[in-house]
Chains A and B, each alone.
Chain A
Amino acid sequence: DSGVTQTPKHLITATGQRVTLRCSPRSGDLSVYWYQQSLDQGLQFLIQYYNGEERAKGNILERFSAQQFPDLHSELNLSSLELGDSALYFCASSGDSGNYYEQYFGPGTRLTVT
């Protein structure tokens, strides 16, 4: 158990809809990362937050947005969903520089868009 929790585990929704994925980092970790994993694209970095502030952006679509709240949990919002958004979405967390940015991954949310 990595200590990172993600809800829900599975999500099935229709095209055009909007969903919110939630992540709680390990206790004390300030950084949260979001990744998308699909068969054709592999593991893609989406976005990173550090202590409530956006720190780095990867291949995140404009239809997607994220935030990190004062209690350090994070939410990834996906809107106007398309079939191609079906994927596993992982959240990871890491602490300060003392652990050299190693990341601890949650179990993922499997999103199916029909």
Chain B
Amino acid sequence: AQSVTQLGSHVSVSEGALVLLRCNYSSSVPPYLFWYVQYPNQGLQLLLKYTTGATLVKGINGFEAEFKKSETSFHLTKPSAHMSDAAEYFCAVTSPGGFKTIFGAGTRLFVKA
């Protein structure tokens, strides 16, 4: 069975500081991994995804994530936080050929001026 754990339900950073949102997964087969962002009163939108190939993937708005198989992690980073990055972020996992996507509990990012 697959599962996703997001460490920290809330993360607070100062504007301009590094953003690091943690995600660990459990999967018996090589997973497809995703990060989604949800702004207030909106649906989720895809930030980035890892399927195969390069383990460092770049997404929209300057975010990137690295797939580390040995650590079963897919942490999301951004070098410099912007006020507009304040939102909730969800990590998700799907198995190739699988029919279900499992979402983590979400991490709410606060950005202080």
Residues on A lying within 8 angstroms of B by beta carbon are: 2, 4, 33, 42-43, 45, 48, 50, 55-56, 58, 90, 92, 97, 100-108
Which residue of A48, A101, A103, A107 is within 8 Å of B42 (Cβ)? A107
Closest 10 CB pairs of A and B: A105-B43, A56-B99, A105-B44, A100-B51, A56-B100, A101-B94, A43-B103, A55-B99, A42-B105, A107-B43
Q: Which residues from 67 to 105 on chain B have a C-beta closer than 8 Å to any C-beta of chain A?
A: 90, 94, 96-103, 105
Contact check, B43 vs A2: say whether CB atoms are below 8 A apart: yes
**Chain B contact residue count (CB 8 A cutoff):** 22
Which residue of A4, A42, A45, A102 is within 8 Å of B49 (Cβ)? A102
CA distance A106 to B46 in the complex (A): 12
CA distance A50 to B97 in the complex (A): 13
Which secondary structure dominates where chain B touches chain A? strand
The residue of chain B having its C-beta at the shortest distance from the C-beta of A9 within the complex is: B41
Residues on B lying within 8 angstroms of A by beta carbon are: 32, 34, 36, 42-46, 49, 51, 90, 94, 96-103, 105-106
The residue of chain A having its C-beta at the shortest distance from the C-beta of B98 within the complex is: A101
Known A-B contacts A90-B44, A107-B42, A107-B43; A43 and B32 likewise in contact (beta carbons under 8 Å): no
What are 26 pairs between A and B in contact, CB < 8 Å? A2-B43, A2-B45, A4-B43, A33-B101, A42-B103, A42-B105, A43-B103, A45-B101, A45-B102, A48-B99, A48-B100, A55-B99, A58-B100, A90-B43, A92-B43, A97-B97, A100-B51, A100-B96, A101-B94, A101-B98, A102-B46, A104-B46, A105-B43, A105-B45, A107-B43, A108-B43
